[in-house]
């Protein structure tokens, strides 16, 4: 309830998209007192977002300066959520290993306590160790959706051929769907294939950027990836690709040898030369676009949601 003297105008907002971006925007807008309805063709557990590994890491999202700033907010907010029971977020130590010597990463400022790996195992020659948020996406998306409802927002399945009217503001968080809804052909799929294997006692994440290999443990399973295939729309896991992923992952983390594969998935990252976060007037409707987060939607979600809420 707003107190006397509080004059901020409250808007009726429709958020298009129920992935991590749409739901995070909805939560921030509801917290500011707006009325928010989320409309989406795929509900949270059917989106690309549910396939994310999901490690805090600014991967394949641009431009660097904005991504670094959004990532910093993301780190802070996800770290806070790690203290909230049932959110699915944990803080976990891990290492990125490199096959060539490198300068400090451009996103180093977003991470407290980043250190160089002193003696990386062969064939690696360099690397970083740091504690990062790791997000169990099915749990987290359920938690976010519940938070939307708790704050009196709604989430409704609706496939649209164009952005809706009838609201003060429409937030376009349609990810790859912006190709149609914003008529934006610069958004393209970057196919990612992952396997989920049984937990074999890992409590640390690992990343090798060359060839994109990552191992991200959750409470009861381990996410093993991955691939980055530009312009590929195929959503079916490829068994030959899965075998190669597992081979690379086992070379990185030998403890995975013989781990039982539980299931496999493919997600299409919404790749774009730059994240689109800006306001546009479409007819009589104010639209705030927020899409094109590539391989870092989880990492950038709270930073972008704060900027969207400020624009609305």
Ligand X SMILES: Cc1cc2nc3c(=O)[nH]c(=O)nc-3n(C[C@H](O)[C@H](O)[C@H](O)COP(=O)(O)OP(=O)(O)OC[C@H]3O[C@@H](n4cnc5c(N)ncnc54)[C@H](O)[C@@H]3O)c2cc1C
Residues that bind ligand X (CB under 6 A): 16-22, 40-42, 47-49, 51-55, 57, 159-160, 173-177, 180-181, 192, 194, 225-226, 267, 269-270, 291, 293-299
CB 20 within 8 A of CB 257: no
What is d(CA 52, CA 59) in angstroms, rounded to the nearest whole number?
Answer: 12
**Toward ligand X, which CB reaches closer, 19 or 217?**
19
CB of 147 to ligand X, least distance (A): 15
In the complex with ligand X, the residue whose CB is nearer, 54 or 256, is 54
What separation, in Å, do the N-terminal and C-terminal C-alpha atoms of the chain show? 20
Nearest residue to 13 (alpha-carbon basis) of 181, 184, 165: 165
Q: Is the CB of 153 or the CB of 270 nearer to ligand X?
A: 270
- What are the phi and psi torsion angles at 245 (to 5°)? -60, -45
Report, in Å, the least distance between residue 17 CB and ligand X: 3
Residue 142 in tokens: 């359920």
Query: At its nearest, how many Å lie between ligand X and the CB of residue 26?
Result: 11
- Least CB distance to ligand X at residue 307 (A): 14
**CB of 152 vs ligand X, minimal distance in Å:** 20
Contact by Cβ (8 Å): 120, 102? no
Supply the DSSP string of 113-140, one letter for each residue: T-EE-SSPPTT--EEEEEEEEEE-HHHH
CB closer to ligand X out of 170 and 259: 170
Nearer to ligand X, 88 or 225 (CB): 225
């Amino acid at each position: 309830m707003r107190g006397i003297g509080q004059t901020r105008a409250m808007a009726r907002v429709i958020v298009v998209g129920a992935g991590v971006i749409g739901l995070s925007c909805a939560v921030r807008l509801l917290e500011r007192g707006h009325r928010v309805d989320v409309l989406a063709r795929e509900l949270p557990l059917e989106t690309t977002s549910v396939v994310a590994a999901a490690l805090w890491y600014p991967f394949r999202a641009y431009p660097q300066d904005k991504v670094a700033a959004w990532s910093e907010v993301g780190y802070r907010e996800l770290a806070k959520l790690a203290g909230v029971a049932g959110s699915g977020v944990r803080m976990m130590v891990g290492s990125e290993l490199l096959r060539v010597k490198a300068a400090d990463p451009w996103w180093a400022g977003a991470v407290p306590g980043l250190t160089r790996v002193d003696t990386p195992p062969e064939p690696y020659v360099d690397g970083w160790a740091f504690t990062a948020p790791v997000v169990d996406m099915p749990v987290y998306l359920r938690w976010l959706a519940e938070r939307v409802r708790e704050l009196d927002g709604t989430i409704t399945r609706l496939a649209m051929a164009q952005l809706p009217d009838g609201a003060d503001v429409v937030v376009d968080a349609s990810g790859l769907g912006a190709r149609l809804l914003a008529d934006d052909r610069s958004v393209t799929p970057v196919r990612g294939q992952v396997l989920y294997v049984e937990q074999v006692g890992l409590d640390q994440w690992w990343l090798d950027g060359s060839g994109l290999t990552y191992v991200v443990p959750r409470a009861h399973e381990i996410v093993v990836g991955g691939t980055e295939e530009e312009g590929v729309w195929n959503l079916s896991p490829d068994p030959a690709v899965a075998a190669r992923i597992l081979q690379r992952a086992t070379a990185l983390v030998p403890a995975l040898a013989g781990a039982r594969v539980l299931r496999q998935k493919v997600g299409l990252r919404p790749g774009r030369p730059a994240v689109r976060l800006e306001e546009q007037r479409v007819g009589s409707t104010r639209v705030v676009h927020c899409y094109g987060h590539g391989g870092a939607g989880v990492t950038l979600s709270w930073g972008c949601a704060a900027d969207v809420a400020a624009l609305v």
